[in-house]
Structure 1
Amino acid sequence: MADTLSDAVKNRAANLMANENMPWDKAKAQAQAEQQTATEQPADDQGDEVRRPKLWNVADMERPRPIQWLARHRVPRGAITVLVGDEGIGKSLLWVWLASKITTGQAAPEFGIKAGKPGHVVLFLAENGFTDMDLPRMEAAGVDTNYVHPYCTDADGSGTPPLDLFAVNDIMHADYTPSLIVADPWLDMVPSDLSVKDGQQAKRALRPWRELAVKTNAGVLLVCHTNRTDSANVRDKYGATAELRKTARMTLFAQIDEESERLTIGPEKSNVVARGVPASEFTIHGVPKDGFEDDVPVLEFAGVSEKTAADLVVEKWEADRPEQTTRRTAAQKWLESYLTAHGPSKRQDVISAAAEHEYSPKTLLRSLKKLDGTSKDLPVVPRQTLWSLPGQDTSDSRDSQDTDPEQDPISLEGVPTDPTVTDLHKRNVPTAQSGQSGQSGHPQKHRVPTANLTTAETVLDYISPDVALSAKAVAQGVPGVDPETVLSHLDTLLLRGLVMRDLKGNYLRKAAA
């Protein structure tokens, strides 16, 4: 009969034996009785009438409410968040860092955490030793352990069971309500009779965690490992927890950014946050602790990356591809030419310019290192990086393509201007199809005698008032001017009203009014 007992009943019976000194048969019987009671459906306020689904009018239901955040755009309250990453990179230090803020009520606006009253943290830990790893890390990070509650059998932190009905009942009847609940690693908390590779069984394994999140309004953080799949698609790296990704409201992906050598953690999949949220960067440093020969690792916030979690996965995958060797040599030559022509440039500008040649950011970074170039962080948020060649002056961190007003090759006198290109696109700009392009013929150009006058005029002269040209055709067709410079001048001409775009996005020169 014992072989048919569920893991939940076995764990509860074992706890009763250890804590209440009950014999096995009595502990087993009480555990079975408790489970039977816990699984009975509660009656509602109508006496003995059993609660059951019914058809509702929306007006009678709860009103909509905004999402509540434990850490804005990172860890929502009342929902499951998955933290996934390779083994040994320090991702478990994130929940320690979070606990240091939550248990002390400290704000961490860089990670979306507001100041408030200290909150409680419940821990389900099975990977590290609690007394020799988890507890020292929490103390070194400044966690107020009076607000920390491991769920386990023994005083040394061992004997953590799966989250079952008994655990949920214990948490719900505690004299505090947790703000954060952590399972590290989550797979060790899954009952042995469930396979999370199966979608339906994975949902069964997740159900008690989701219900606990809803009932406590806590942020539930499930820590998982990636597999060893070599892929640029982040979804392939979830392995056994792929089904978990589908169900979780938020997933955070942890990895090392080889460019900055920092631990980066950012949203990878979310039902509540728009795509493109940049990752947060952390450094790991050691803190001396009495009685310990080695320093204790502690996480420290280092800034906001200009990359997303998905960007970093692609970069890492492309970095060591054998077929990239020849392309790296070509990329190195291209990058040297670009930085020589443009001077110190923002990393994102270089990447955008290299997109036409399909050079990846990681290939460009390796090329920069081969050229003995430098990568300098600018004091802005999100973080931006300036790339330069040896000997180039980086003291002026302006965009290298900015133009001084006194060197502007085209005067604004008599020419309507718009504040931004985005605003210009939103307006009712005359187009060739609409028949509002004005008089035909060569437009009257307004020039001032400057040394930079030739390039802008060349670009403008190439564009016809009668034949629409794509941006690529213009960039590749202007004689004697590299495509990147052409596109830069093309944006300026559009902004200043000297060229326009038709309904297909092609460019025409405006005729003189």
Structure 2
Amino acid sequence: MADKNAESTIKKWVATQSKEIMEKSKLLINLDEVEEKEASWLIPGYLPKGQICIMCGDGGAGKTTTWCALAASVSTGGKVFFDQTPDEFVKAEPQKVLFFSSEDSIEYVLRAKLRKSGANLKNIFSVSLKNPQFADVKFNSSLLKDIVAEVKPALAVLDPVQSFVPDNVSMSQRNEMRSCLNPLIALGEEFGTTFLIICHTNKRMGVYGRKRISDSSDIWDIARSVLIVGNVPGSSQRYLSQEKSNYGQLSQTALFTIDETGAHLEEYTDRRDADFVRESDFENRQAPQRQDAEKFIVEYLRNGKRLTSELDEAAQAAGISRSSLARAKTELRKKKLLGSKSEGFGQNKAFYSYLLEQRT
């Protein structure tokens, strides 16, 4: 009997303690008291406000130029190049931007990129890589929380992801990565900050979308929007493809170019990262045949102009396919090595191919 009384007393005590803990911490919420809200956007359709988003791409694809263009537009209240909002409906106010970069120097690279992109530099804040405390900025650190609380940025960029993962966390461990990223969700909700995490893509051929992100699939899962930046095969253009969106349909892919003043929109397309990856893989598989065709053309025309029809016949006799020959001609024209012209009129008109003067 004594044991039963003791057990009953313990249960009552535990129940009382649990109730007190929940009351003190306000652990539970009643959904009847929760106000429903629609998603708001930093960049309509592409980057939701107050959420974790990621941008990834190969080295040299234009990630830094792209996020600098984004930061510049947020700092001025202007329109970033990939935003599809009609100009007359753009009503954003200038907002603050915070960034951390362990890949590029603020003094030598990033300030100039931001300035040339038209940024209001007074609205952009960072921590110098030369500052010893930079190493303490981690996704779950109190230092990052304090900085965000002080600046209250609309956008915070962390480039690249590996620099801000705590030392005791393995990116390949799902639970560990999710735990260290969770504090960003709370910061986003509290301060309305959109966190843009910059990632590298892996080098595996034939993979696209989710499988393109290096090191951790957890980053994809926790992100509300995923953007992939890449090179358009056979072109000087780049692409920005939205591969994931939790708050609506995927936005169109932006094709853009980069010059000294930043990124510039060329057009929109419905093609996605997978389409460009397949096209690139195809070109890589065809590259040896094209390169052999290029060498044949250069050697055949070394002594001067020749009839284009004769060039085509000679290439076919050498076992070069029409498609490889066409790609080789296109590539040589891009390199400004191959020219063509017509001579004569009417039935006597003939087309010639010749080598241009090579430029070093």
Above 0.5 in TM-score? yes
Matches within 5 A, 1:1-400: 49-54=23-28, 56=30, 58-63=31-36, 65-108=37-80, 110-112=82-84, 114-152=90-128, 154=130, 159=135, 161-163=137-139, 164-172=141-149, 174=150, 176-275=151-250, 277-287=251-261, 298-321=262-285, 369=327
* Change in CA separation of 1:285 and 1:170 when aligned onto 2, cut-off 3 Å: closer
Deviation at 1:75, TM superposition (A): 0.9
Q: Deviations over 1:123-165 (max 9, x none)?
A: 1111111111111111121111100110357569965622312
- In the alignment, structure 1 segments of 5+ residues that lack a partner are 1-45, 288-297, 326-364, 373-513
3-state secondary structure, aligned to 2:260: strand
3-state secondary structure, aligned to 1:183: strand
3-state secondary structure, aligned to 1:209: helix
Q: Distance in 2 between matches of 1:74 and 1:145?
A: 24
Higher RCO (CA < 8 A, seq sep 6+): 2
3-state secondary structure, aligned to 1:73: coil
Q: Deviations over 1:373-401 (max 9, x none)?
A: xxxxxxxxxxxxxxxxxxxxxxxxxxxxx
Residue identity matched to 1:82: I
Q: Distance in 2 between matches of 1:196 and 1:214?
A: 24
* Change in CA separation of 1:313 and 1:132 when aligned onto 2, cut-off 3 Å: same
Deviation at 1:234, TM superposition (A): 3.0
Deviation at 1:55, TM superposition (A): 5.8
* Change in CA separation of 1:299 and 1:366 when aligned onto 2, cut-off 3 Å: farther
* Change in CA separation of 1:61 and 1:368 when aligned onto 2, cut-off 3 Å: farther
3-state secondary structure, aligned to 2:39: coil
* Change in CA separation of 1:204 and 1:366 when aligned onto 2, cut-off 3 Å: farther
Q: Distance in 2 between matches of 1:55 and 1:286?
A: 52
* Change in CA separation of 1:72 and 1:141 when aligned onto 2, cut-off 3 Å: same
Deviation at 1:53, TM superposition (A): 2.8
Q: Distance in 2 between matches of 1:144 and 1:156?
A: 27
Q: Distance in 1 between matches of 2:210 and 2:246?
A: 15
Q: Distance in 1 between matches of 2:267 and 2:164?
A: 33
3-state secondary structure, aligned to 1:87: coil
Question: 2:81–2:265: 8 Å Cα contact kept in structure 1?
Answer: no
Question: 1:102–1:118: 8 Å Cα contact kept in structure 2?
Answer: yes
* Change in CA separation of 1:170 and 1:224 when aligned onto 2, cut-off 3 Å: same
Q: Distance in 2 between matches of 1:203 and 1:371?
A: 51
Residue identity matched to 2:145: V
Question: 1:74–1:250: 8 Å Cα contact kept in structure 2?
Answer: yes
Question: 1:199–1:243: 8 Å Cα contact kept in structure 2?
Answer: yes
Task: Give the number of equivalent residue pairs.
Answer: 279
Q: Distance in 1 between matches of 2:101 and 2:329?
A: 47
- TM-score when normalising by structure 2: 0.68
Question: 1:129–1:157: 8 Å Cα contact kept in structure 2?
Answer: no
Question: 1:82–1:248: 8 Å Cα contact kept in structure 2?
Answer: yes
Q: Distance in 2 between matches of 1:88 and 1:126?
A: 16
Larger C-alpha radius of gyration, 1 or 2? Answer: 1
* Change in CA separation of 1:179 and 1:370 when aligned onto 2, cut-off 3 Å: same
* Change in CA separation of 1:254 and 1:48 when aligned onto 2, cut-off 3 Å: closer
Q: Distance in 2 between matches of 1:194 and 1:367?
A: 52
* Change in CA separation of 1:190 and 1:283 when aligned onto 2, cut-off 3 Å: same
Q: Distance in 1 between matches of 2:197 and 2:168?
A: 19
Q: Distance in 1 between matches of 2:93 and 2:253?
A: 27
3-state secondary structure, aligned to 1:321: helix
- TM-score when normalising by structure 1: 0.49
3-state secondary structure, aligned to 2:242: strand
Residue identity matched to 2:232: D
- Give the percent of matched residue pairs that are identical in Structure 1 and Structure 2: 20
Q: Distance in 2 between matches of 1:108 and 1:237?
A: 25
Residue identity matched to 1:139: R
Q: Distance in 1 between matches of 2:162 and 2:219?
A: 10
Q: Distance in 2 between matches of 1:157 and 1:54?
A: 37
- In the alignment, structure 2 segments of 5+ residues that lack a partner are 1-19, 290-322, 331-360
Q: Distance in 2 between matches of 1:218 and 1:367?
A: 53
